[in-house]
Each structure stands twice: as structure tokens, then as C-alpha cells.
């Protein structure tokens, strides 16, 4: 029996949902880091005055707040207060979710639309390159956009609309991936000091809200907020406008794209990973990648273009992230509880399963 239990426990670690969580999280960090590095290279080519980029290593005032093409550099003060702000936001969502859920859903949908358009932009540039016009298309006060940007934004809007109508978990994952890549690409850590301040504060934040919030609030605040579905804006709008009992009633409640969820091969449960557990370590890996690139340039080597030729700080840090994620996953399996920066096994009842796009009669139970 003990051997059978050990085999079942070991098998759960290589379940398709766990493997998907590991692979997708690592791919998102790698892709987002290289998108960030490519943005730096493009900005350096366009910068005719030779001004340093925000978060670059040749910037003597790298801790200052800088904005170039939407890039946001986190300074020491922001790193210290970000966990506090995140805690306040978590409490607001915990206590007043019913009051703010529609506004929060709409804001999340708008941000997800922009982020997913950013994710699709390289593919759209490749597709439209043969027929793309030389000049940008003007839309008056809205600005000027290329054909690829318009195509990526249109596809993103279409995806968000389908997600609102269906609430399917796969579309939610796609939007969450866009958010991860955009945040890693546009948010920069300027130094190792700021990185340590930010990640140490977020570690304390994560540990407190995962392990100790239940003693104060009689509920695991982090897990409840992460798994609580929101009302569909279409349903709310139909009730406000009194469109009739049948209008808008068939749309599902929405699970917001603040996490990645993957079903197991048997469909009995989901594995879940918050995008914060991807983005925040991803910011450190992005910083390390830019440092590797800076060292190569300082040594007169060819800058990083698409891959790295030898073991570097980026490779070592990526291995460290994998080991940390694996450790958290093993701990969640052993203790059968949520862990900071872990893939959470979702024990979903039938209603929750239909919420993620599964049939309501599918048996969903915790893996023993």
C-alpha cells in the first residue's frame, strides 16, 4: 500500500496539468525576457542623442523614475511599498468583491486586450510584412498605427469578446499569458538591490496571505480571491436595462485572467499558478538577461540576438526558478495545501468545472 501511495504521489507530479504549468511558465519568462531585450536594442538604435535607456546598466541614475515608450522602472520606494499596495488590493477584493467585481472585470478585460495585442504583434508583423504600407494609418486623435498593430488589436478584441461569452479556461489562459509577457517586457528592475527588496517583500506578502490569513480572516484570502468567479458584465447589463429574463442569462460567470489553469489528462482537476508567480521572478530573470547582454557588449562580443551560446547568469537563474517552482509543487502535494509560488491542485466541484468550460456532470474530486 505504501509503495502504491508513493507511485500515485509521484505520478501526480508528472500529470499533464503539472507539466503544462511548468513548461508554459518557463516559456513565458524566457519569451518575455527576450522581448524586453529586443525592445532595448530597438530603442538604442532609434535613440540618436545617445540617452541611456531606463533600467540599462550604463545609466548612472538607474533608480530614477523613467518612462520611454511605456517602459516603467521600479525604484527602491516602489519596491518597498508594492507588497503593501498588493495587500490592500487583496483585502478590497476579499471584503468588497460583490461591489467591485464588474468594474474589476471590465478593467481586467481592457488590460488583457492590450497585453494580448502586444503578444500577437510579432506574428502579425510577420504576416502583414509583404503587404504592409510604408506609412502608418492615421486615426485622428487616437494616433497612428501600422497594419500589424491594427490586426493584433482586432484579434485581441475578438478573443476577449469570445472569452466574455464563453468563459472558457483556454481563452482565459491566453489572456493571462499576454499579461505575463507584457508585464515582463515593460516593467524593469534597475539593480540587484531593488530586485532583492521587491522579491523579499513579496515573499513575506505571499507567505502571510497563504499561510496565516486563515487565522485572522477565517479563510485563506489568497486562494479565495484567486478562485472566486465574477459576474459576467453582459448578465449585469441585461438586468440593469431590463432586457427580459432570457437576455444575458446564458452567459457564464467569469474567472479573471490573474492565473493560469490547466486540466489534468483525466479532467478530474485543474492545476493553477498565479501570474504573479510568473511575472515577479520573470522581472529578475529579465534583469539578469540584460546584465548578460551588457557584459557581452562591454567585452566586445556580439550582443545577444536570439539565443545564448554558453552558460550565463540567465541560465543559472532560470534553473533556480525551475527548482523553486518544483519545490513549491512538491510541498503542495505533501501538505495538500496552497504554497507560495506553487502550482495549486484545484479540487473543483461540478459547478466550478462548468465555469472553466467543462461539462457540469464531469466528476471532479481531489486526487488522493
pLDDT tens digits along 256-312: 888 888 887 666 667 788 898 899 999 999 999 999 988 888 877 655 544 545 778
Give the mean pLDDT of 165-171.
Answer: 88
**Total-model pTM:** 0.81
**Active-site residue numbers?**
206, 277
Sign (positive/negative) of CA torsion 102, 108, 111, 112? negative
pLDDT tens digits along 171-193: 999 999 999 999 999 999 999 99
Mean residue pLDDT across the chain: 77
Residues 6+ apart with CB under 8 A from 12: 18, 333, 345, 367
C-alpha cell at 78: 516602489
Measured CA distances, 38 to 95, 147, 328 (Å): 42, 21, 32
pLDDT tens digits along 188-237: 999 999 999 999 999 899 889 888 888 898 888 888 888 888 888 888 77
Q: What distance in Å separates the CA atoms of residue 306 and residue 355, rounded to the nearest whole number?
A: 39
pLDDT tens digits along 27-36: 999 999 999 9
Give the mean pLDDT of 153-179.
Answer: 92
Band the pLDDT of 112: cuts 50, 70, 90: very high
Q: Give the total residue count for the chain.
A: 368
Please tell me the predicted confidence (pLDDT) of residue 152.
93
Query: Does the structure show a pLDDT above 60 at 155?
Result: yes
Residue 332: other Cβ atoms inside 10 A: 18
The three-class DSSP label of residue 230 is strand
Task: Supply the DSSP string of 103-157, one letter for each residue.
Answer: HHHHHHHHHHHHHHHHHHHHHHHHHHTTT--SSPEE-GGG-EE-HHHHHHHHHHH
Please tell me the predicted confidence (pLDDT) of residue 14.
63
pLDDT tens digits along 326-336: 888 777 777 66
Give the mean pLDDT of 243-262.
Answer: 75
How large a percentage of the chain has pLDDT more than 90?
32
Please tell me the predicted confidence (pLDDT) of residue 246.
57
Amino acid at each position: 500500500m505504501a509503495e502504491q501511495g508513493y507511485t500515485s504521489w509521484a505520478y501526480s507530479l508528472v500529470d499533464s496539468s503539472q507539466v503544462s504549468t511548468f513548461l508554459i511558465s518557463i516559456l513565458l519568462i524566457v519569451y518575455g525576457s527576450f522581448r524586453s531585450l529586443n525592445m532595448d536594442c530597438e530603442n538604442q538604435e532609434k535613440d540618436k542623442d545617445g540617452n541611456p535607456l531606463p533600467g540599462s546598466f550604463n545609466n548612472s541614475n538607474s533608480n530614477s523614475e523613467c518612462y520611454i515608450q511605456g517602459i516603467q522602472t521600479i525604484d527602491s520606494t516602489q519596491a518597498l511599498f508594492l507588497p503593501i499596495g498588493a495587500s490592500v488590493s487583496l483585502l478590497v477584493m476579499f471584503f468588497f468583491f460583490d461591489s467591485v467585481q464588474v468594474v474589476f472585470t471590465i478593467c481586467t478585460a481592457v488590460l488583457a486586450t492590450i497585453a494580448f495585442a502586444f503578444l500577437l504583434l510579432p506574428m502579425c508583423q510577420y504576416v502583414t510584412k509583404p503587404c504592409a504600407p510604408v506609412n502608418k494609418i492615421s486615426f485622428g486623435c487616437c494616433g497612428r498605427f501600422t497594419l500589424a498593430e491594427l490586426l493584433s488589436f482586432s484579434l485581441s478584441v475578438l478573443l476577449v469578446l469570445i472569452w466574455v461569452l464563453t468563459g472558457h479556461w483556454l481563452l482565459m489562459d491566453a489572456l493571462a499569458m499576454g499579461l505575463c509577457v507584457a508585464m515582463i517586457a515593460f516593467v524593469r528592475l534597475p539593480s540587484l538591490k531593488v530586485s532583492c527588496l521587491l522579491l523579499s517583500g513579496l515573499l513575506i506578502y505571499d507567505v502571510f496571505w497563504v499561510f496565516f490569513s486563515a487565522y485572522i480572516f477565517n479563510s485563506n484570502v489568497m486562494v479565495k480571491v484567486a478562485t472566486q468567479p465574477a459576474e459576467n458584465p453582459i448578465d449585469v447589463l441585461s438586468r440593469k436595462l431590463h432586457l427580459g429574463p432570457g437576455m444575458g442569462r446564458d452567459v457564464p460567470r467569469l474567472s479573471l485572467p490573474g492565473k493560469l489553469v490547466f486540466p489534468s489528462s483525466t479532467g478530474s482537476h485543474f492545476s493553477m499558478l498565479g501570474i504573479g508567480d510568473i511575472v515577479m521572478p520573470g522581472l529578475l530573470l529579465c534583469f539578469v538577461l540584460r546584465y548578460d547582454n551588457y557584459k557581452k557588449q562591454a567585452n566586445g562580443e556580439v550582443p545577444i540576438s536570439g539565443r545564448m551560446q554558453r552558460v550565463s547568469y540567465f541560465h543559472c537563474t532560470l534553473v533556480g526558478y525551475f527548482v523553486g517552482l518544483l519545490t513549491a509543487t512538491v510541498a503542495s502535494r505533501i501538505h495538500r495545501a496552497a504554497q507560495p509560488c506553487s502550482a495549486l491542485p484545484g479540487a473543483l466541484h461540478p459547478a466550478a468545472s462548468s465555469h472553466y468550460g467543462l461539462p457540469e456532470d464531469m466528476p471532479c474530486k481531489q486526487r488522493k
